[in-house]
Amino acid sequence: MEDVNLTSNHTNDIGNKAVMIIDAYKAYSSSIVVLNGFNMNVEKGTIYGLLGPSGCGKTTLLSCIIGQSRLDAGHIKLSINKKKDIGYMPQELALYNEFNILETLHYFGLLYEMCYEDIISKGEKLMKIMELSSVKTQFGSLSGGQQRRFSLCVTLLHEPSLLILDEPTVGLDPIISASIWEYIKDLANCGKTIIITTHYIEEARQANTIGLMRKGVLLSEASPVEIMTSCNVDTLESAFLILSQNHNAVNTNMDVYRKKCIHPSTTTIEKSSFFEYTRFKAQMLKNWYWSIRNWEIIFFICFLPIFTVLIFNITIGRTPSYLQIGIVNNEIPSPCPYESNNICDNTIPLSCKYIHEIENQGLSLKYYNDVKLAEEDSIRGHTWGFMQFKQNFTDMIKVRFDDAMDMSVDDLEKSSISIRMDMSDFVISKLIEGKLLLSYRDLAINFKSCNKNSSVVSIIRTLPFKIMQPVHGSFNINIVFYGSAAIISILGLYSTFLFTALSINMDINSGMIERSLASGLSISEIFLSQFLLQFVIMLFQIGSMFILQFVVFKHPFLSSPIWPFALVLLQGICGTFLGFATSVTFDERLTTFIGICLVMSQVFLGGIMWPLESMHSILKTITVFLPLTLSIEALRSMNARNWDIFHPTVMHGFQSILGWILFSITITILSLKFKSVIKRTK
């Protein structure tokens, strides 16, 4: 939403009028014309009753007067030029149910740049006049009539010279409505100018002047008596009916008028300054009150990342406790009958030594004397597969080393270990394969203690490859280490996105933003205060996640903590601005779907579930442009590879997240420029 620009019009050229509207035109589309050549004059110190059916354009007109919307054409001239000189009471209550009366008065008093003592004294005076209870009473616990009266108190707190009341008596008891009208008349007698809209036509007889509005046009503007006399009727309702019928009989060509509206709109109301400390303080105070009253939401937002990291580390990547494989050892009766397993003892078959190392890896072994029985058990799911050592396996290994060229195909088969695995579960099958490989590696390491002339040393040399230390990482492969960077990044972005979008949408849907903006608050102050609150929450979230991941659960962390922390902080800032962008562009439901889509797309396309290298080239190109893909890889590279910020992979991660922040800010600005936030509440 953008405030209306200040023009060169002066306030002293409208004489004794408080409001003057000339040739006002406003349309939301070519078929929806809200104001069509509208003219209106409000005398100072009078009550002006603006009457008309719902949807005739009354609320839009008031929004243009207070500077929250812009006319497409026409002029608005006011006797005042600052928003704080206007008291605006919207049709919706637009107040927080969770706040008590004192907190609400304190917030709006600061927006009006009042000192605390004045807020208390004037607030208590208004409370007595409106017959309201203690200032500690929660607004949501008041009755409907009390809430209306307190909303009027908020409007009158700073003693404005111009009051704009949108349907202040709608839905109220007639006695309460009458008391409000009596107070409004007292204000007018004290020199205040009041514009009041209502669709209760007869109650508007109490106004000094009445404007009858229909389809964006002012049908008549005069005192109640003059309007009824001109139509020769006894009630305003009858007069309104006659004027409406006469209006239908006139051929009003909107296209002809639209061609006349070639000049831009003007108004004398000033645009709110970009930043004012007192208003910013008020907004921060409101955020504090809101956080206390909605502590469950704050608790959830703060501890959701911590809870998720705990669950992730406890459930993901841990080695299964019971993985059973079958052993068919045709070389010797199973299990091996030897009391000791001296690695250098040539009398112990090599198969037994290898089986011993497999047991040390935590695998559970089930021995069979028949291959068919082992296969049947594997098919039934009793084991995850089986291994078979052929008869004379150890002797054939020796032959393979001494004279492999003269070995027959059958002899080569006997010197091999046959393994048949259940590959239905990819993760478990790969874990078992890794343990079998590590078992052979440990066997090779243990042989180093033997005499170099021992035949068993010759045997191990037949291994066709050598396992060396990894370039990055360790032999203890754990998927939780691989996914830790992604989990932190997604939680950092989504939790801030969720909280920001939720907060802004709650303010918009409740009407609180509209009322605050009408009281002088600027969009920049709303965003800055929200960002500051979010920043404090982010520091807590990121610090907690880093301590859990890298201190408690001891994930690899080879680099300095400064740059990884800074990168995750930027991801949280990106989530904040994405929350701003979506909440001011879309409604609450669509914002929720966008958040879900953002997380799911990042989970499946960001290299978390499966490496990017396995994707189709086109899809891989698309994933690069997601918010977190490059920054996740950068975070993983810093933590596990100790690459500094100048490494291309790390630098690209920082550039990507900074680019998304700038993109989100741009979308927010464009949405505020071309689409009214307030329009969504109408």
Closest CA to 432 of 504, 487, 380, 384: 384
Looking at the predicted structure, is the pLDDT value of residue 88 above 80? yes
> Kind of pairing, strands 47-51 and 33-43?
unpaired
Alpha-carbon gap, residue 324 to 384, rounded angstroms: 6
Are 414 and 536 within one domain?
A: no
CA angle 616, 621, 622 (to 5 degrees): 100
Tokens, residue 681: 């509440």
Indicate whether 470 belongs to any domain: no
Give the pLDDT score at 226: 92
Exposed (0-12), middle (13-18) or buried (19+): which is 267, by Cβ within 10 Å?
buried
**Whose CA is closest to 535, among 565, 494, 576, 506?**
576
Question: In the prediction, which pLDDT does 580 show?
Answer: 92
Query: What kind and span of H or E run contains 162?
Result: strand 162-166
The verdict on residue 184 lying in a domain is yes
Written as one letter, the residue type at 464 is P
What is the reported pTM? 0.76
Confidence of residue 534 (pLDDT cuts 50, 70, 90): very high
In a domain, 156, yes or no: yes
Is residue 95 over pLDDT 50?
A: yes
Residue 469: inside a domain, yes or no? no
Using the predicted structure, report yes or no on whether residue 169 has a pLDDT greater than 90: no
pLDDT tens for each residue of 651-667: 999 999 999 999 999 99
For residues 505 and 604, membership in a common domain is answered with yes
Cα separation of 241 and 562, whole Å?
73
Residue 473, domain member (yes or no): no
Residue with tokens 């990017």: 612
Residue 247: CATH number of its domain? 3.40.50.300
CA distance 180 to 174: 10
d(CA 640, CA 558): 6
Same domain? 307 vs 331? no
pLDDT at 596 over 50: yes
* Domain at 392, CATH number: 3.40.1710
Whether residues 542 and 675 fall in one domain: yes
Would you say residue 477 has pLDDT above 70?
no
Q: Let me know whether 490 and 518 are in one domain.
A: yes
Write down the pLDDT at residue 7: 37
Within this chain, do residues 97 and 208 fall inside the same structural domain, yes or no? yes
Mean pLDDT is highest, among 328-337, 448-457, 544-553, for: 544-553
Band the pLDDT of 441: cuts 50, 70, 90.
Answer: confident
Domain total in the chain: 3
φ/ψ of 383, rounded to 5, equals -135, 165
| DSSP H or E stretch at residue 47 | strand 47-51
pLDDT for res 12: 46
Q: Which domain holds residue 570?
A: 279-315+478-679
* Residue 293 near residue 99 (C-beta atoms within 8 A): yes
What per-residue confidence (pLDDT) applies to 545?
A: 93
**604 with 634, same domain?**
yes
624 shares its domain with 598: yes
Q: Are 42 and 77 in contact (CB under 8 A)?
A: no
Within this chain, do residues 489 and 436 fall inside the same structural domain, yes or no?
no
User: Hey, what are 557's tokens?
Assistant: 């962390």
Q: Are 661 and 628 in contact (CB under 8 A)?
A: no
> Long-range contacts of range 498-502, CB-CB < 8 Å, 24 or more positions apart?
498/301, 498/579, 498/595, 499/297, 499/301, 499/534, 499/537, 499/579, 500/530, 500/534, 500/575, 500/576, 500/578, 500/579, 500/580, 500/583, 501/579, 501/582, 501/583, 501/591, 501/592, 501/595, 502/297
What does the pLDDT average to over 297-305?
A: 90
Helix (H) or strand (E) holding 283: helix 277-293
* Same-domain status, 482 and 596: yes
Please write down the long-range contacts of 598-605, taking CB distance under 8 Å and 24 or more positions apart.
598/493, 598/494, 598/497, 598/627, 599/490, 599/494, 601/626, 602/490, 602/493, 602/626, 602/627, 602/628, 602/629, 603/486, 603/490, 605/629
209-214 vs 217-222, strand pairing mode:
antiparallel
The two structure tokens encoding residue 179: 């008391």
For residue range 45-60, list pLDDT tens digits in order. 999 999 888 778 888 8
Confidence check: pLDDT of 254 > 50: no
pLDDT of 524 strictly over 80: yes
Backbone angles phi, psi at 77, to 5 degrees: -120, 130
